[in-house]
Structure 1
Amino acid sequence: MVHQQRSQAHLSPSSDTKDTEDIVSLLAPRLAHFAGVARTEHVTRAAQEMQVPQSTLSRAMVRLEQDLGVDLFARRGRTVSLTPAGRTFLGSVERALAEIGRAADEVRADADPATGKVAFGFLHTMGAETVPGLIQAFRVDHPRVRFSLVQNYGEAMLEKLRAGELDLCLTSPVPDAPDLVARRLDEQKLRLVVPADHPLASRRRIRLAEAADETFVTLEPGYGMRLITDDLCREAGFRPRIAFEGEEAETLRGLVAAGLGVALLPPPAFPRPGVVELTVTAPRAAREIGVAWLDGHPDTPPVAAFKRFLLSRRGNLLPT
């Protein structure tokens, strides 16, 4: 009777009423104990199976009922049986514990040195050839390591690093931020891409200033290549007249092939018909490629191995 009165008091509105977050923090450590007692319907046997002192387990169950404000067990000596409320609670507890078990298995699997996972981001322009070649070379010594691959522009990948969604990313320009660690790996020359029937198409080399009167197609503001394009044109003494902005380099090549402008781009993975790619002799047109990760972020063994591999490719990252 006293126990029932206590439960009713907890159920009535008061200053002691806990919000959901408080309840979860109180209940979480006791859920496995509750499930064990519910499964065996015997406090002594449950304590032996879980290797917990019987007195500790008994107190935990009483405190759990106090925190919830309901009776979960009907007690007959050391034998217990679930009340209707206890059965309802047990179903949810078992699902929660199973989900926690699956999550634990998943994170352990991702950290396994031989079969773990690397969340790896890279620029769209590196997806056709560079990244497949890197992963192929890495898996010679690590054949079962798995990859979660994300293609995006530089700033978006850095935000994913900060959010914990990526372990590493290849990006350009190489970032300089206090919360990130970045290492320069290689350099990629840029070319002026013109339509195949353009007056400049007969040339092999060009000074960028010679394209000052051309219409440009570029990536959108915020993309690394857009920043580099703006900087190089400024260095060449002009501001580019931009007709189209896009999100992907090969789309820009298609626009160039259609005669809609010229573009500064890294070399393609495969030749694109309808365009000619000119070497830019001045100013020096190149972009640095680097690898970045979150400073202070601990590496799992597969991430550490792939990071070492990338750093070992310094100066030899890009296909020749």
Structure 2
Amino acid sequence: MGRGDLTDVEWERLRPFLPVSNGRCGRWRDLRQVIDGILHRVRTGVQWRDLPERFGPWKTVYERHRLWSADGTWERLLQQVQAAADIAGEIDWDISRWDSTIVRAHQHVAGARTDPPPAPASRGGRSGRTSGRNTVAKPARPAGGGGAGGEGLGRSRGGFTSKLHLSADGRCRSLSLVVTGGQRADCTQFQAVLANIRVPRVGSGRSRTKPDSLAADKGYSNGPCREYLRRRGIRHTIPEKTDSQAARLGKGSRGGRSPGFDESRYKKRNTVERAINRLKQSRAVATRYDKRGYIFLGTATTAALLIWLRG
């Protein structure tokens, strides 16, 4: 077993949630080899063609990652692992953290085709996101952000950049991820990040889609964000901007009350910064090498999945 490969314990935690093999990667032992190859590339940022031979043909590894990024398999695996942690009481739902980080894109990332990501052909006419042989992969949510063909790339003086928006629990593990262009404001993706939190319940019942409370910085301090949180019944700790406070005080009694702010709870917001640092220990997340936005989102989700598997 190479450095960074799944251990037997991690493999046993992941294996029950894997989709049924469609024969392209052979037996389950071979699928583990392919997943280890994907993890090696995510960790090191190496070009797919330069993967070590012990992972098998590089194109097999790449195609598996591309397909699982397109049909949402990586996202579902992350949600299933989160559900197992939720049953064990390992998720801190009392307060979740919101933030984003800029990811520099490699110069070769530009130039992706503008057509939508291809879907693998169905053998039996079935469609959807189910596992098995007759699955038609649906593209993941649009990466957003505009620019560069809508692949989540933004232009800046330093070149192309992407922005990774995320929420995190109290143990520095990502709950949800969204990729946009680097120029997009944090508050524009606030609802999208919250909507992507979906931890399934074991047995019957709806998936859990919201934390008990959250903390965010001043980038999310605006009326629409606060109104959305009040409408969903989520307590929040977000500092008020200076100009907003001055405008409210200038209106006197018509300005309303100041939003509640718990300083001691806000101090825990550094957890999301540490969650970002853990994600960026994977070089393929710290620097974007994927041309397609949905593949880069799959890369970031794979890195988050490994963090959850390793606690």
**TM-score, structure 1 as length reference:** 0.20
Larger radius of gyration: 1
Structure (1/2) with the larger strand percentage: 1
TM-score w.r.t. length of structure 2: 0.21
